[in-house]
């Protein structure tokens, strides 16, 4: 009997264009045009950023819940979190405090708060969670996690005993931290941080210096914010006994990593690697012939913890060929190829504007799926 080819399709979201599951469905349509008998396994993927709740709840048959929480600038926003089982939740910080919820200008960068993240943590606890996977990608904030901690009952006051304002700018007035009024239940919950960021909280590789500019911090503001975060870290150590200034990962999500380490019971996980374990990707790869992955933008930095490379590394343990479908890619992809991806294909098939590319995402992914499958069939013919 002829062996049906088993293709694993595990693609990260094309931000603003298609979710992980949508992208995979389009690619699967293209594969079926070439080989209608192919067995196609779709594995929704995320790396701790946008789409993590959707990917894990879909793959693990969980439940998605919607809540109204405080956005990064104080407005009310609708955010989702997932319950993977009765006691395990998954939260994306970007749902409440994401960069797409601000204008990334200097004023927003100083005001943006993680308060809504703390509210989502509270909601998950109220739902029965004793373990929470928290993805830290896509942050608009550089507040050191103060907003999150405020929502969980930690008090941050100035020299006069008044509550400090939200956002990074509030850290300029911080004089005292009181952890004695934290929300009941927080101490019994383990927060499992999903992040590929290993930056410290402060210094030339810290939250403000490395990630501040993309959030709107100006060159002039960065040293000031870094100084505020350093003072904050000193007060955190006085209040909790936990040193966060130079701890790897403390700079993730504008210092939310530091806040979680200081005020919550946390465990740090490599984002994509741990998610792939949760999704049991290896079980699918063990019976696969071919892997198709992808993301919206691929460059040399994609080799550092991005989903497609994590998938490729897993595939190579089984000796499988890997093609990555991307919206755009850098000229130099040597680190990506060295990490295990065999071919990178841009999905655009003609010159087009960004708006046209987004509008044509479904069609382009379908065509790219067909092309990727033809590449694999060509390989089989040559064997």
| In the chain, where the domains are located | 6-45+280-382, 52-272
Question: Distance between CA atoms of 75 and 68, rounded to whole angstroms?
Answer: 10
pLDDT score, position 380: 62
Q: Which option is the CATH number for 52-272: 3.90.1510.10, 3.40.50.970, 3.40.50.2300, 1.10.10.10?
A: 3.90.1510.10
pLDDT digits (tens, 9 = 90+) for 332-370: 899 899 999 999 999 987 777 778 878 889 999 999 999
φ, ψ (nearest 5 deg) of residue 329: -150, 160
User: pLDDT band at 134, cuts 50/70/90?
Assistant: very high
DSSP string, 218-261: -TTHHHHHHHHHHHHHHHHHHHHS---TT-TTTTHHHHHHHHHH
130 contacts 189 by C-beta, under 8 angstroms: yes
Name 12's Cβ contacts closer than 8 Å, sequence gap at least 6: 20, 23, 45, 46, 47, 51, 293, 294, 295, 296, 306, 307, 308
Higher pLDDT among residues 196 and 335, named by residue? 335
Assess whether the region 6-45+280-382 and the region 52-272 belong to the same CATH fold.
Answer: no
pLDDT at 59 > cutoff 50? yes
Helix (H) or strand (E) holding 378: helix 361-382
Token pair of 303 as six digits: 């080799």
Token pair of 362 as six digits: 């479904």
CATH 3.40.50.10350 describes domain 6-45+280-382: yes
User: pLDDT band at 374, cuts 50/70/90?
Assistant: very high
SS3 283: helix
pLDDT at 311 > cutoff 70? yes
Name 190's Cβ contacts closer than 8 Å, sequence gap at least 6: 130, 131, 132, 265, 266, 267
User: pLDDT band at 270, cuts 50/70/90?
Assistant: confident
pLDDT at 37 > cutoff 90? yes
CA distances from 264 to 83, 100, 168, 274, 303 (A): 20, 26, 20, 20, 30
Look at the block and give the residue holding tokens 């939740």: 89
Question: Distance between CA atoms of 15 and 26, rounded to whole angstroms?
Answer: 15
pLDDT at 382 > cutoff 60? no
Higher pLDDT among residues 17 and 173, named by residue? 173
Question: Distance between CA atoms of 283 and 288, rounded to whole angstroms?
Answer: 9
- Mean of per-residue pLDDT scores for the chain: 93
pTM over 0.75: yes
pLDDT digits (tens, 9 = 90+) for 143-187: 999 999 999 999 999 999 999 999 999 999 999 999 999 998 899
pLDDT score, position 238: 97
Question: Distance between CA atoms of 249 and 214, rounded to whole angstroms?
Answer: 18
pLDDT digits (tens, 9 = 90+) for 61-88: 999 999 999 999 999 999 999 999 999 9
SS3 339: coil
φ, ψ (nearest 5 deg) of residue 158: -90, -170
pLDDT at 110 > cutoff 90? yes
SS3 313: helix
pLDDT score, position 378: 81
A 10 A CB-CB count for 187 gives: 10
pLDDT score, position 294: 94
Rg (CA), the chain: 22
pLDDT digits (tens, 9 = 90+) for 203-242: 999 999 999 999 999 999 999 999 999 999 999 999 999 9
Token pair of 333 as six digits: 């992809």
DSSP string, 136-152: --SB---STTHHHHHHT
Residues of the chain above pLDDT 90, percent = 76
User: pLDDT band at 301, cuts 50/70/90?
Assistant: low
pLDDT score, position 316: 95
Pairing of strands 76-85, 63-70: antiparallel
User: pLDDT band at 379, cuts 50/70/90?
Assistant: low
Cα atoms in the 13 Å half-sphere on the side-chain side of 59: 26
Angle at 156 (CA atoms; ends 152, 105), nearest 5 degrees: 90
User: pLDDT band at 1, cuts 50/70/90?
Assistant: very low
């Amino acid at each position: 009997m002829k062996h049906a080819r088993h293709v694993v399709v595990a693609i990260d979201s094309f931000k603003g264009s298609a979710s992980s599951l949508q992208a995979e469905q389009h690619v699967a349509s293209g594969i079926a045009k070439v080989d209608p008998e192919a067995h196609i396994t779709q594995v929704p993927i995320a790396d701790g950023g946008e789409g993590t709740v959707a990917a894990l709840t879909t793959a693990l048959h969980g439940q998605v819940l919607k809540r109204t929480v405080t956005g990064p600038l104080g407005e009310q926003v609708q955010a989702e979190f997932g319950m993977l089982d009765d006691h395990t939740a998954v939260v994306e910080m970007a749902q409440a405090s994401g960069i797409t919820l601000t204008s990334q200008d200097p004023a927003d960068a100083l005001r943006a708060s993680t308060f809504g993240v703390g509210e989502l943590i509270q909601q998950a606890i109220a739902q029965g969670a004793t373990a929470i996977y928290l993805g830290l990608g896509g942050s608009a904030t550089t507040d050191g996690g103060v907003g999150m901690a405020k929502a969980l009952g930690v008090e941050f006051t100035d020299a006069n005993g008044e509550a400090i304002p939200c956002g990074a700018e509030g850290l300029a007035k911080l004089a005292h931290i009181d952890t004695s009024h934290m929300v009941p239940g927080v101490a019994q919950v383990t927060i499992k941080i999903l992040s590929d960021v290993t930056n410290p909280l402060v210094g030339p590789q810290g939250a403000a210096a490395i990630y501040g500019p993309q959030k709107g911090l100006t060159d002039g503001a960065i040293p000031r914010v870094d100084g505020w975060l350093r003072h904050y870290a000193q007060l955190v150590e006085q209040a909790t006994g936990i040193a966060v200034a130079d701890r790897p990962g403390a700079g993730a999500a504008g210092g939310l990593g530091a806040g979680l380490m200081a005020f919550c019971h946390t465990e740090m996980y490599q984002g994509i690697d741990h998610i792939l374990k949760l999704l049991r990707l290896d079980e699918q790869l063990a019976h696969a012939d071919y892997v198709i992955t992808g993301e919206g933008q691929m460059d040399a930095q994609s080799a550092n913890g991005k989903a497609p490379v994590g998938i490729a590394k897993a595939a190579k343990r089984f000796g499988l060929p890997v093609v990555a479908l991307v919206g755009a890619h850098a000229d130099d992809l040597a680190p990506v190829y060295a990490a295990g991806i065999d071919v990178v294909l841009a999905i655009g098939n003609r010159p087009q504007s960004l708006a046209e590319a987004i509008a044509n995402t479904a069609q382009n992914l379908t065509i790219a799926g067909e092309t990727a499958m033809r590449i694999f069939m060509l390989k089989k013919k040559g064997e």
